[in-house]
Amino acid sequence: MRRTWLIFSQAVTVAVAVLFVIATLKPEWLPRRADGSSAVTVLPPLPAATPAPSAASAPQGAVTVSYAGAARRATPAVVSITARKAPPRPSQSADPWFRFFFGDGAAQQPQTGLGSGVIVTPDGFLLTNNHVIEGADDIEVQLADGRTATARLVGTDPETDVAVLKIELERVPAVAFGNTDNLQVGDVVLAIGNPFGVGQTVTSGIVSALGRDQLGINTFENFIQTDAAINPGNSGGALIDTGGNLVGINTAIYSRSGGSLGIGFAIPVNTARQVMEGLVRDGQVTRGWIGVEPRELTPEIAETLRLPVRQGVLITGVLQSGPASEGGLRPGDVVTKVADKPVASTGQLLNAVAALKPRETAVISVQRGERALDLTVTVGTRPKSRARQPQ
């Protein structure tokens, strides 16, 4: 029985194989239906996979998403920065026994820091972070085309963490300035820099938030928050929009490991440009100052003082004979506007006052108990940075 079954299965297999060969090579040998079609249907071959159209080959009207144009316009102006400073010499280096056991210090290598920068003018002015070049004795810049140059430090502003450098090269590429006033949460941005020293890298993301402050990074904080990957070495690099325009200088990341966790911060280009113009023109940044001690206005404080407003900045101290005192501000006043610009936090008050021009007058709106007042203040010049000072 088993032998019979094996013979039968082999015969069926051979018959099916013969039928398949005939249907493929000589279908006319097979019997026809009444409608003239073959009694055996041969499946057509699968169509070849069609490659996805590229930006260059896509048919007209097709939607493609690529930021190659923006990256191509901006990357030539983004540079790598190597900052070197001499190593600290041990205090025991004059001791002959110390030199006998540890050498004379010749083996110590210069301390080297890596960062990024952005060329913003055709005559070679660069923007970067102050912390990238702080304390450096020698600053070397490498362009995307491979050229290198020694950079001259024009000036720094530690309160915004901005530094301005100058290189002397011919045919220097420069990025175009954007306008952060037009930036919105959700806009696509690209971060360009030299993370970990691996070479120029472009990452993409969106604007996650605007006006981030109270982070404890700088004195003046008004950061653009983005989820574009920013890592060590990106500091001082460019944050650009989809048109290839500079909208920020990458500065810091929130990280538990030292790598990107999707929360990065950039200095708005409007702030960086204002700082650069002051450093190039005057060698320093001049800011407004009125001489007050501010404090956040909490709902509990507003309730205690029976204030009709819930947003503003409480003034806890006024510098005697300072601009605010001369203009009529008192401790207990709540500042709601500076030059028609609403303020709801101490950071916003600091930035709004700093943006005022010294020796000019400004109207400061305050809530004093149940009365709303507009006070005219002659703005002073902010003193040089100290550990703590009135705003």
Please identify every residue annotated as catalytic.
131, 161, 235
Torsion of CA 83, 88, 93, 94, to 10 degrees: 100
Helices (H) and strands (E) in the chain, counts: 8, 22
Region of residue 297 (left: phi > 0; alpha: psi -120 to 50; beta: else): beta
Nearest to 113 by CA among 39, 163, 40: 163
Q: How far apart are CA 43 and CA 64, in angstroms?
A: 35
Pairing status of strand 238-241 against strand 188-193? antiparallel
Q: Under a CB-based contact definition with an 8 Å cutoff, are residues 139 and 132 in contact?
A: no
d(CA 347, CA 338): 13
Cβ-contact 352, 336 below 8 angstroms: no
Give the residue among 390, 378, 380 at the shortest CA–CA distance from 349.
Answer: 390
- Nearest Cα to 227, choosing from 193, 255, 202, 261? 261
* Whether the Cβ atoms of residue 363 and residue 376 lie closer than 8 Å to each other: yes
Tokens (6 digits) for 281: 């023109």
